[in-house]
């Protein structure tokens, strides 16, 4: 599905809504997993911890960096889908669990001129300044990441963006692959304590907060998962 969405974005960059398809699909899968777990007659006999929660999430949260990205609408080279480039990161924000160390970077992109698209992101001028090239982003991200870190992202597509630009310096953890459903919703306005100093109402920050809340839930449930 992620590959299909990327291709559609490249072929029809003016068509809104493609960026929401993966989110809707992921929520559908999460709901199905929750339904299956609640109705499986053998569920009570399953081994504790079988929700495939990575141990690092419950044992050493200091090494967890939670990240969320917005990607550009899609590049079209010579107006040919066959020559189109994969979408690149447009905006990246991340926070280190426990310490609250924050990373933010906006990248140069033609998508910044798409008024309808940018209105959905609700990014402020301060968040979009200064703009970095992909190379500059890569070096800034390299400086932020530590050798023992793990980058927690909701979607596999976020991790793939790092791979596409050779910025995957440490392993990623895909939160959507964990067989536990977040207890909070994406539109929950509560701000995690480690993001208390971030006052933006942008979509990237709200979704980063959602991912942080999910990681906090996993940490809080440590005793139940062992």
For the beta carbon of residue 143, count every other beta carbon within 10 angstroms.
9
What is residue 86's predicted lDDT score, i.e. its pLDDT?
Answer: 73
Q: Kindly provide the b/e burial profile for residues 70-86, where b requires at least 16 CB atoms within 10 angstroms of the residue's own CB.
A: bbbbbbbeeeeeeebeb
Mention every residue, 6+ apart, whose C-beta is less than 8 A from residue 113.
none
| Cβ pair 88, 72 in contact under 8 A | yes
**CA trace torsion 195, 196, 197, 200 (10° rounding):** 70
Q: Cα 31 from chain centroid?
A: 19
Q: Looking at residue 188, what is its pLDDT?
A: 80
* Half-sphere exposure of residue 120: CA atoms within 13 angstroms, side-chain side: 15
* Distance between CA atoms of residues 221 and 218, nearest Å: 5
* Backbone angles phi and psi of 181, in degrees to 5: -95, 135
Q: Report pLDDT for 113.
A: 93
Fold of 2-225: Nucleotidyltransferase; domain 5 (3.30.420)
**Distance between CA atoms of residues 120 and 73, nearest Å:** 12
Q: Which two tokens stand for residue 57?
A: 């999430």
- Please give the pLDDT value at position 80: 44
CA-to-CA dists, residue 100 to 14, 96, 198, 216, angstroms: 37, 5, 10, 13
Rounded Cα–Cα distance for residues 7 and 21 (Å):
13
**Per-residue model confidence (pLDDT) at position 115:** 93
Predicted local confidence at residue 10, as pLDDT: 56
pLDDT score recorded for residue 31: 53
Q: Does the predicted model carry a pTM greater than 0.85?
A: no
Q: What is the pLDDT of residue 112?
A: 94
Cis bond leading into 130, ω under 30°?
A: yes
pLDDT at 8: 60
3-state secondary structure string, 122-142? CCCCCCCCCEECHHHHHHHHH
Q: What's the confidence (pLDDT) of residue 27?
A: 55
Mean pLDDT of successive 10-residue segments in the chain (226 residues)?
60 59 57 46 40 78 95 58 69 96 96 93 94 97 96 94 95 89 78 91 94 90 58
**38-51 core/surface letters (b: 16 or more CB in 10 A; e: else):** eeeeeeeeeeeeeb
Q: Looking at residue 77, what is its pLDDT?
A: 41
């Amino acid at each position: 599905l992620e590959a299909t969405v990327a291709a559609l974005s490249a072929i029809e960059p003016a068509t809104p809504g493609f960026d929401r398809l993966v989110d809707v699909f992921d929520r559908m899968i999460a709901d199905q997993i929750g339904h299956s777990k609640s109705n499986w007659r053998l569920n009570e006999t399953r081994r504790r911890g079988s929700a495939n929660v990575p141990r690092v999430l419950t044992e050493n949260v200091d090494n967890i960096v939670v990240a969320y990205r917005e990607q550009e609408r899609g590049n079209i080279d010579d107006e040919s889908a066959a020559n189109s480039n994969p979408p690149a990161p447009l905006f990246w924000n991340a926070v280190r669990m426990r310490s609250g160390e924050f990373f933010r970077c906006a990248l140069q992109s033609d998508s910044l001129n798409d008024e309808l698209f940018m209105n959905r992101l609700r990014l402020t001028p301060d968040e979009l300044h200064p703009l970095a090239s992909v190379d500059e982003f890569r070096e800034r991200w390299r400086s932020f990441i530590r050798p023992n870190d793990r980058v927690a992202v909701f979607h596999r597509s976020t991790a793939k963006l790092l791979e596409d630009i050779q910025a995957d310096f440490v392993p990623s953890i895909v939160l959507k692959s964990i067989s536990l459903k977040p207890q909070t919703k994406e539109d929950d306005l509560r701000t995690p304590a480690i993001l208390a100093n971030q006052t933006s109402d942008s979509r990237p920050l709200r979704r980063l907060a959602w991912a942080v809340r999910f990681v906090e839930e996993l940490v809080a449930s440590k005793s139940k998962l062992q």
